[in-house]
Amino acid sequence: MTSDSYLLPFLWTLNGFLTLVYLTLEHLAVVLLALPLFRLISTTENSQRPWMLASAALALAASMFGTLAVGIWMLLMAAASLLAIRLEKFNPQTLRWRVAGGLAGYALIGLGAAIYKLLIPLMMAGDSFFAQGQVYLSTIVGVATIIGPVGFLGMLLQAVWAHPPLEQSPEEIYSQIRTRGRR
């Protein structure tokens, strides 16, 4: 054995570490997205947790396999969802359902855009009919990847700030309805 053969395990370990660093930096949006998604899952009630878990899995998949823009939008949507749920005092359970649906919906848009991007070269091979509509379809996919999160963020703003004026707290209103005004 030479002295170089003693260094090989250390070089392999260093190579593996550098590979992990590269993959982490390449998918930094996915790594950062995992934090707010974990917080969303861990603070969700047990009845809603499977739905939030499925939405988070779709969000991570879309961020990993989609474009960088999809990952950044998903990160922004998840962070804004955490803030909105924290600010919401009227009906946070309903907002959590809307967040789970919104994250899953945009994740499906992101995955669909990634699949479309993979299928374009296969469909363009010799089909002049598809070549004419490719710009149109690409525009629709591009707009959908932008309109989806903008609409979601608008929904969060509406859910937090657009409530009817209340003279009582939500707990007092529920109590008054349940007791029919009797104390």
Query: Which residues have CB under 8 Å from 43's CB, separation 6+?
Result: 85
Boundaries of domain holding 74: 28-179
Q: If you average pLDDT over every residue of the chain, what do you get?
A: 88
Predicted confidence at residue 55, as pLDDT, reads 97
**CA–CA distance, 80 with 93 (Å, rounded to integer):** 16
**Counting beta carbons within 10 angstroms of the beta carbon of residue 110, is it exposed (0 to 12), middle (13 to 18) or buried (19 or more)?**
buried
CA distances from 64 to 26, 30, 76, 126 (A): 10, 6, 15, 31
Predicted confidence at residue 164, as pLDDT, reads 66
Residue 104 lies in a domain: yes
pLDDT, tens digit, for every residue of 121-154? Answer: 777 766 666 777 788 888 999 999 999 999 999 9
pLDDT, tens digit, for every residue of 6-34? Answer: 888 888 899 998 998 888 877 888 999 99
Predicted confidence at residue 96, as pLDDT, reads 94
Residue 159 lies in a domain: yes
Residue 132 lies in a domain: yes
pLDDT value at 92 more than 90: no
pLDDT value at 110 more than 80: yes
Residue 4 lies in a domain: no
Residue 97 lies in a domain: yes
In degrees and rounded to multiples of 5, residue 42 shows phi and psi of: -70, -25
Predicted confidence at residue 165, as pLDDT, reads 64
Predicted confidence at residue 84, as pLDDT, reads 95
Q: What total number of domains does the chain contain?
A: 1
pLDDT: is 11 or 163 the higher one?
Answer: 11
**CA–CA distance, 176 with 179 (Å, rounded to integer):** 5
Mean pLDDT, rounded, for 149-173: 83
